[in-house]
A and B are shown apart, each in its own frame.
Chain A
Amino acid sequence: MSARTLEAGAAGHGAEPRGKRTEAGEATYLIAIAEALWEEMERDERVFLLGEDIGVYGGAFKVTEGFLERFGPERVMDTPIAEETITGIAIGAAMEGFRPVAEFQYADFMSSGFDMITTALGRYHYRSGVPLPVVLRGPSGGGVRASSFHSFNPEPWFAHSPGLKVICPAFPTDAKGLLKSAIRDDNPVIFLEHKWIYRRIKEVVPEDPDFLVPIGRARVVREGSDVSIVSYGMLVHWALEAAEQLEGRGISAEIVDLRTIQPLDTETVLRSVEKTSRVLVLYESHRFLGVGAEVAAQIAEEAFEHLDAPVMRLAPPNVPIPFSPTLEDAYLPQVPDIVAAVERLAAW
């Protein structure tokens, strides 16, 4: 299977990540992210990486494989296990003029640096006027049977904290372009990579080193006319699968991929809702006060007169993500759940 060869390819030693594309020039999401890091490090020597096991090991998911050989231990810093300090070091180094990119082994462990991220990093510019070009990146999300300690979606925490931008890309091209934008941005950015997508989704990704995707813009990834599905991350792919099934049942679903959570591109969402008049907000953070709660509220406030049905939400309950596969499936909205929700909306 191609997925297998790709995983093996990504695990090859030493080569620059672009060399790990398929023969057709396709890059997985993981390789696209590695390319973004590599290119920005080539472009700007003030960019450096720090994190746990990112050097010799190449990171828990092998995103930084080969980076140590190319950029050396001063720009690919293996740190002791200390998330609070990894974040704090990034703050200090950014003040001194560097552009640190810190890897969290899992986005779950961003909570071990929570105070430093939300209180210090997020508020630094507000308190001092000093810009902090810091990127904190890490694998987030579920669907891979990795237990409640390795599957979390922390995006609402950080989207709720003033001063932080939050990015949750769903496609390799967006991941690459957005990560490059994040590294060039003068504000702190939380860049959440979805581990379910890493090796599953691949596409031809631009090779131009100045290819960027702007932060804060959603994208319509599938045109449709009956119902809008607003989502981000892994669930965009599940929504695409649901949309195919719905097509067969005569329902045309439009899918809006938010791409960036903070700042939220309300315009693109509203334009889609105006077109379809029915909207499902589908998100992976907990339903109560999760990302979709804000999206639904904005639609209700701004597009009430365009709606033919109440805004509907589909999201996991407010329980820890379970380890058991059966329970994880019950926790995450599944493709049939998406299909059923859209059918309900369409029939409203």
Chain B
Amino acid sequence: MSAPETTDDGFPTLRCLAPDGTPVGDVEVGLDEEGLRALLRWMILARRLDRECMALQRQGELTVYPPFEGQEAAQVGSAAALGPRDMVFPSFRELAAAIVRGVDAVEYLQYHRGTWHGGPYDPLATGFAPICVPVATQLVHAVGWALGAKLDGSDACALAYFGDGAASEGDFHEAANLAAVFRAPVILFCQNNGWAISVPSRAQFAAPIAARAPGYGMPGVRVDGNDVLAVYRATRQAVERARAGDGPSLIEALTYRIGPHTTADDPTRYRDEAEVERWRALDPIVRYRRFLEAVGVADAGFAAACEAEAEAWVGTVRAELVALGAPPASEVFDHVFAEPPATLRRQREEALGGA
């Protein structure tokens, strides 16, 4: 596989499927046929939605959008390994994981439409924390949530998504250390997509991110992030470890951001089109689909049905999204506190009168 420079380091990378879909390791990951097909369905739905979001942004219906094309397996494989009571702490590029968790796409996209600060889905009900823009801060929240779950005697765990870029923030190191010291049931899931905006992985760290784990006192696994089965397996193991009371795990999924950093970015300024093409050839959906069809778990009709479903679904998402009107101006004072204190009540009255 044509891999990012961080893989020329001798550190092992877990893989179940070769890029052409042939098994290269144990493909028995504990999913029945329906579960195996669900991974393909989610990836197809996610990609179609991602492309629709790009189009919606170009048409002025979203203010800005960070696409995840190429990272479907990393997100779907990890999110699918969680249970309903687990909690995800995303960064800002995890729409695929969000839909797997059952977050309503229209509600989620209200953030990118600029009609809401964070997307009005309920983070606690969906097990999916709000989009997190300040890089790496969500990692620490995940550790805190996991500690809470542990103190509650629950067997739920937290999973925090973060990027290769986020791995340089102090918050990453502090979260990892505390998680290990307190044996918090948390999974630190890195999507190393090769780039932090314009800065390539090789300019951000000198050793694999997964290799840091033993230094904190937790297992670290590197997986082929375009191999949905490998991602699922690694996450599943980490979840079981967390539930058993054995503490945190670090997973580094090697993947690639095929699109721009956000719709405001032009990646041709800093990276080679040839690199993008190399990664396109490692497409996670094509790989997995070939595997499922080869082993007879899905036929071509299944993928076609998923694509048709995706087409109809994004049509609904689009229609509902563009129908969303602007919130009333008076809302500017709402939601800041659970109960607005006197300072804010006074400011509100001055601005709006009694309204």
Contacts and interface: CB of A to CB of B under 8 A. Distances in A.
B326 A149 contact: no
27 contacts: A52-B196, A53-B198, A53-B199, A56-B198, A57-B199, A60-B197, A78-B203, A80-B165, A82-B169, A112-B134, A147-B117, A147-B133, A148-B117, A317-B333, A317-B347, A318-B347, A320-B117, A320-B336, A322-B117, A322-B331, A322-B332, A323-B114, A324-B326, A326-B328, A330-B329, A330-B332, A330-B351
Given A85-B170, A288-B347, A56 B117 contact: no
B329 A327 contact: yes
Contacts of A147: 63, 114, 117, 133
A324 B326 CA distance: 7
A26 interface: no
A318 B114 contact: no
Interface string A69-113: 000000000101111110000000000000000000000110110
Interface string A121-158: 00000000000000000000000010111100000000
Given A78-B199, A147-B114, A317-B333, A288 B343 contact: yes
Interface in B319-350: 326-333, 336, 343-344, 347-348
Contacts of B111: 323
Interface in A13-56: 52-53, 55-56
A296 to B, nearest CB: 15
B204 A80 contact: yes
A325 interface: yes
Contacts of A8: none
A56 B270 contact: yes
B133 A319 contact: no
B116 A317 contact: no
Looking at chain B, what size class is its interface with the partner chain? 35 or more
A78 B115 CA distance: 34
Given A149-B133, A317-B332, A330-B351, 18 more contacts: A57-B269, A57-B270, A81-B168, A109-B134, A112-B135, A145-B114, A147-B133, A148-B117, A287-B347, A288-B343, A318-B347, A319-B344, A324-B114, A324-B327, A324-B331, A326-B327, A327-B332, A330-B330
Given A288-B347, A324-B326, A80 B199 contact: yes
Contacts of B198: 53, 55-57, 78
Interface of B: 63, 111, 114-117, 133-137, 165-166, 168-170, 196-199, 203-205, 269-270, 326-333, 336, 343-344, 347-348, 351
Given A78-B203, A147-B114, A326 B168 contact: no
A232 interface: no
A106 B173 CA distance: 23
B169 A319 contact: no
Nearest to B352: A330
Contact residues of A: prevailing secondary structure? loop
B238 to A, nearest CB: 24
Given A82-B168, A319-B344, A326 B326 contact: yes
A231 to B, nearest CB: 19
Nearest to A57: B198
Interface residues of A, number: 37
A317 B327 contact: no
B93 to A, nearest CB: 14
Contacts of A112: 134-135, 137, 169
Contacts of A274: none
B269 A317 contact: no
B4 to A, nearest CB: 16
A323 B168 CA distance: 28
Contacts of A319: 332-333, 336, 344
Interface hub of A78, A80, A329, A331 (most chain B Cβ within 10 A): A80
A280 to B, nearest CB: 15
A57 to B, nearest CB: 4
Nearest to B267: A57
B205 to A, nearest CB: 7
Contact of A81 (B196, B330, B343, B347): B196
A257 B198 CA distance: 37
Give 9 closest A-B pairs by Cβ, nearest first: A80-B168, A57-B198, A330-B329, A149-B133, A326-B326, A317-B347, A323-B114, A330-B332, A81-B165
B164 to A, nearest CB: 9
A85 B173 CA distance: 13
Given A81-B135, A112-B134, A53 B197 contact: yes
A317 B348 contact: yes
B327 A327 contact: yes
Given A149-B134, A317-B351, A56 B269 contact: yes
Contacts of B196: 52, 80-81
A72 B203 CA distance: 15
Contacts of B329: 326-327, 329-330
B194 to A, nearest CB: 14
A241 B322 CA distance: 34
Nearest to A54: B198
A109 B349 CA distance: 32
B330 to A, nearest CB: 8
